[in-house]
Amino acid sequence: MQKSSYKLLSIKGILGLAVLLAIGAGVLITTAFLTSSHISYPISATILVVSIWGVITTLVYIAKLLFKLLELINMNKGLTAESLELLSKIRRGTLVIAIISSGFLLYVYDGTQISDLPEVIIVALGVLFIPFSIFVFVGLIEQLIEHSVAEKGDELDAHENLQKDLRHNNRGS
């Protein structure tokens, strides 16, 4: 195996582990809410659990897309239209996660009303900012690959035109 294959394999392993940890955390949180008898705000707790599973489902989808992207990179097809399409889907997935994550805020707000800790809302907003940051970052990477694919296409067109000119000149001689 090449050194890059080991890197990709380790990235895939870490990605798979992260997905398993997210699913495990979702199961634990859901179990805690379903078995708890002293939830003060059942509606916000329900929204929280639904939001958590929405985020986990979207994370699994994004992980699947990342596995495909890693395979393209392994085959030296990282700067192609196919990888650009995968990045576009990943970017949309991160936006979905950012929107679904806002469902956490209702539960956090209810919790701050009980415990009189308004600072927790600021921390929750900071955590909510993470998926939006990833959305912007993936958008930047998507733009870079889009420009790279366009330049690559221009180079291929120029190369094909040069070959046509050479064939035309050879026929004329």
What are the boundaries of each domain within the chain?
A: 3-172
- Alpha-carbon gap, residue 109 to 117, rounded angstroms: 9
Q: What percent of the chain has pLDDT over 70?
A: 81
Mean pLDDT of 151-172: 62
58: pLDDT confidence band, cut at 50, 70 and 90?
very high
The answer on pLDDT for 160 being more than 70 is no
What separation in angstroms does the CA of 166 have from each of 140, 155, 158, 170? 39, 16, 12, 6
**Residue 9 in this model has a pLDDT that exceeds 70:** yes
- Under the banding of pLDDT at 50, 70 and 90, the label for residue 158 is low
Give every CB contact of residue 109 below 8 A, 6+ residues apart in sequence. 44, 121
Residue 78, pLDDT > 70, answer yes
pLDDT over threshold 50, residue 138: yes
What is the distance between the alpha carbons of residues 96 and 65, in angstroms, rounded to a whole number?
A: 15
- Please give the mean pLDDT across all residues of the chain: 80
pTM: 0.73
Query: What pLDDT digit, counting tens, does each position of 80-135 carry?
Result: 888 888 888 999 999 999 888 887 777 777 777 667 777 777 887 888 888 888 88
Mean pLDDT across 22-30: 88
pLDDT at 1: 47
